[in-house]
């Protein structure tokens, strides 16, 4: 699932940011909107990965137990 549509219309919003950090970012020429969007994409992707892991933990554990008990189908075929 995509995190966002990069061509979606922009939405104005108000944020509270550490003043010193904001000044440093401006002095460094950081594009605040782009930096925030990039950070939010990363945070949303991480949150979705964690949610997927929680939702699938039982199935993954069952699969791992099955492999531990029976091995994998190509166990005798591997040459490495």
In contact, 45 and 3? CB cutoff 8 Å = yes
Chain position carrying tokens 């002095």: 27
User: Can you list the pairs that 57-65 forms with residues at least 24 positions away whose Cβ atoms lie under 8 Å?
Assistant: none
DSSP designation for 10: P
The pTM assigned to this predicted structure is 0.71
Over residues 8-58, the pLDDT tens digits come to 899 999 999 999 999 999 999 999 999 999 999 999 999 999 999 999 999
- Residue 58: the pLDDT is 98
Do you know the residue count of the chain?
80
């Amino acid at each position: 699932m995509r995190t966002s549509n990069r061509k979606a219309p922009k939405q104005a919003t108000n944020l509270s940011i550490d003043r010193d950090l904001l000044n440093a970012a401006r002095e460094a020429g950081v594009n605040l909107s782009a930096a925030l969007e990039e950070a939010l994409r990363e945070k949303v992707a991480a949150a979705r990965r964690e949610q997927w892991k929680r939702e699938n933990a039982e199935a993954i554990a069952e699969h791992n137990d099955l492999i531990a008990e029976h091995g994998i189908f190509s166990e005798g075929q591997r040459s490495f």
